[in-house]
A and B are shown apart, each in its own frame.
Chain A
């Protein structure tokens, strides 16, 4: 299949960054195509992380990451409220467990203030144990960051992509980019000032045909250096960093109130314990450099290290059941800061090295990149759009369909619970299958509804859910 006509922009990669850029571009009079190698949006680094909506308190002051994270976090809090993305402002505690770490706390506090987090405060040990009575022994004190929040990492890219698709962005899933050829500017460059730009039209070869476009955005995450090389880049190399995480049973949720962070080292932010918006407790991540960009396996050493660390932070975790263990890959590079460049001459934006803050910063990154594209010559004429879509609510803090008497009275399918651990109803499964971005597989259905994500992992409902999926799957 070859797309007819020339798009204004092709965005490569439908992770949280690519979808954010797509929905931001959808606010302008532009034709855009969003291409994704996987069968769904948000299946790479986006789906497997700590699901924290950061304030940016611990970023390098003055860095691009600091600026975009701060801006993006504010935008996302607002967007989440409008789109129904689950967010809980739990706050975080950076906890010192040794003299050395205690000595680092003033620096953390100072850095946070320089990053614009003016509401941080020191917490003495006694107050810390009052706030978190289940904390293991030996904590010396902490810095509290009230703005740190938890968010649903699955609904977020789905909301962005849904908004983009509704506004006319063409989403091409299962479409892997295999090469890019850029014509010289003297022919076929369309009506956007061919004379001023040496580069002409990009021909993006994919596993599903050739896409033609005037501007190209590389938001390919773990593959962003490969895509960059197709455009003659080479300023960075992706060095995937694997993070293993353990999800504890919802019955562990009362063990903590806020996100419990360690004092970071130069290499990693360390192992944290955090609530999730689904009502579970998350422990992780490890940080291990791996060569394979698809190796999201968990390891005996990784899981053992996590259990050891978790047992010290919250001893009560040891008695609770584990619901899931998984691993994600952060798209780290040899650079500390984001690798965002807009090349006016080549009509190309590279948005890479969004190591571990992409979810929080996504809307800030999108705003920044689109602004830069505009300065580089992409015509940005605003247009009316419907705004954020109303997403199905899959959080734990608000009212879910099974709890909503009015909703069940209007449609009894919301009273038929299929997945008992996560209390997902047949109505929600039906809605997901009928949505503008239906799931391609059971994992996609999990990310849209929470189905099969609970403590039984399918003991009770996998057969029934598989049946509903097969019956309702879009052709």
Chain B
């Protein structure tokens, strides 16, 4: 099969991209998803809050997913659920398995929008027994909301960020009594209102600076051992369900198999501000490149990538482009996008009259998104290249597992011949200190 654009992953980013591509006249757009139904993670998130930034309305997850699936179909994209892209046969060609058989799809451009997952207990190397009853929020939501499962008994939640409180609501819905939310951080990382509501409505405290040391229970879960983070005596907390929340990792298998450059921070493919990867005409968007942002941010990223894909397919490409990496320094964990593509000096041939390099694309929504691994009050984020200050943000509070935004106006100042751009937290917003000497 030959298509103009193949999109792998029909979650918010892939669906929004499909709609935008068709609007931009991109020709044949095939959107495939390995799940039995298109829509992505919102399909099993029954709470509201979806659609704010992209659709300018508030919907619950399933309604949001349905709306996008309908929009993609109405726009003329081919949406195929139950179809798994299993590997690459070329730079822009894949094999795909579905009940219809094994097919090869060749595309002019590919958009990877394969999303992210939570690290399960095993990936976090929590020692102990291996009983059933231990799961991630994703599994919990599907069991409860798609499978109608009840979970009587006591439950413990590992994590205290937005998704952890979402797990709390799901557990309460399933009949569980939540003992506590446990976080290694010194404070919870969601909105204060969420934590307060959790305490008031479900009597679920947040145990901060606390680590789950060991899982106990041979045939079924009986509880966990917890201790103060960094040491101290362990105590046993009985529970029947243990839910690991957050700690996102992109589903980057296809990106890795394609040999795309991987960003060490996000662990997704390295993408420039147009969301193009290290392979021309292979783009990536959504939580594959920023695990995990809200669905609307993912969708707007998909839309952004779609515009650049349509432009790339419609016009000529700059001959010489330099990809300058963006690095983050601790306590920053990652930044997305993480590459600035600068078209170098004017090519003698091609588009006439271009006397200088075209400025790099602005990132989605005009801003970069970052993560910080530690709490910082009224901190400024600074951007430098080879010691040269490109930008400094206004002071804001940095909270682990919550987005940090950085306006993207500085991208035009990046020197294509320079070293990597470095992004760091400056202490207290005082005078600039040389890059690389930020307090960790």
Which residues in A have some Cβ–Cβ distance to B below 8 Å?
246, 250-251, 294, 296-300, 302-303, 307, 321-326, 402-405, 408-409, 412-413, 415-417, 420, 423, 442, 455-460, 462-464, 466-467
Contact = CB atoms under 8 A, between A and B. Distances in A.
Given A323-B122, A457-B121, A466-B143, A415 B97 contact: yes
A409 B97 CA distance: 11
Given A402-B84, A415-B98, A460 B138 contact: yes
B117 A459 contact: yes
Given A300-B127, A303-B125, A408-B97, 5 more contacts: A246-B125, A324-B122, A325-B125, A325-B127, A459-B118
A90 to B, nearest CB: 21
Interface string B77-89: 0000010101000
29 contacts: A297-B128, A297-B129, A298-B127, A298-B128, A299-B127, A321-B123, A322-B122, A322-B123, A402-B84, A403-B102, A405-B101, A408-B97, A408-B100, A408-B102, A412-B100, A415-B97, A415-B99, A416-B98, A416-B99, A423-B84, A455-B123, A456-B117, A456-B136, A456-B138, A457-B121, A459-B120, A459-B139, A462-B142, A463-B146
B136 A459 contact: yes
B61 to A, nearest CB: 15
B387 to A, nearest CB: 29
B130 A326 contact: yes
Contacts of B365: none
Contact of A416 (B82, B214, B253): B82
Interface in B337-385: none
Interface of B: 34-36, 82, 84, 86, 97-102, 117-123, 125, 127-130, 132, 135-136, 138-139, 142-143, 146-147, 149, 213-214, 218, 249, 253, 256
A298 B130 CA distance: 9
B256 to A, nearest CB: 5
Nearest to A443: B132
Contact of B218 (A294, A413, A456): A294
B122 A408 contact: no
A457 B122 contact: yes
Nearest to B216: A297
B136 A463 contact: no
A300 B213 contact: yes
Nearest to B213: A300
Contacts of B218: 294
A457 B147 contact: no
Contact of B34 (A307, A404, A417, A458): A417
A322 B102 contact: no
Contacts of B117: 455-456, 459-460
A457 B125 CA distance: 13
B98 A466 contact: no
A303 B127 contact: yes
Nearest to A300: B127
B125 A408 contact: no
Contacts of B146: 463
Nearest to A307: B125
Contact of A420 (B34, B120, B213): B34
Contacts of B86: 402-403, 423
Given A412-B99, A466-B143, A466-B147, A458 B125 contact: no
B143 A462 contact: yes
A463 B123 contact: no
A405 B102 CA distance: 5
A322 B82 CA distance: 27
A297 B98 CA distance: 39
B144 to A, nearest CB: 9
Contact of B120 (A300, A456, A467): A456
Contacts of A412: 99-100
A151 to B, nearest CB: 23
A457 B149 CA distance: 18
A4 B102 CA distance: 52
Given A458-B135, A459-B118, A417 B84 contact: yes
> Of residues B36, B123, B218, B249, which shows the largest number of chain A Cβ atoms within 10 Å of its Cβ?
B123
A463 B149 contact: yes
Nearest to B116: A459
A413 B97 CA distance: 11
Contacts of A463: 139, 142-143, 146-147, 149
Contacts of A460: 35, 117, 138, 142
B139 A462 contact: yes
Given A251-B256, A415-B99, A420-B34, A467 B136 contact: no
A413 B82 CA distance: 11
Contacts of A417: 34, 84, 97
Contact of B125 (A322, A404, A405, A416): A322
Nearest to B118: A459
Contacts of B249: 321
A64 to B, nearest CB: 34
A412 B147 CA distance: 24
Q: What are the 6 A-B residue pairs with the smallest beta carbon separation, nearest first?
A: A463-B142, A457-B120, A412-B99, A459-B138, A415-B99, A405-B102
A405 B99 CA distance: 10
A190 to B, nearest CB: 40
B120 A458 contact: yes
A429 B322 CA distance: 49
Contacts of A442: 132
A325 B149 contact: no
A274 to B, nearest CB: 18
B112 to A, nearest CB: 15
A442 B218 CA distance: 15
Contacts of B213: 300
B99 A408 contact: yes
Given A402-B97, A408-B101, A323 B123 contact: yes
Nearest to A321: B123
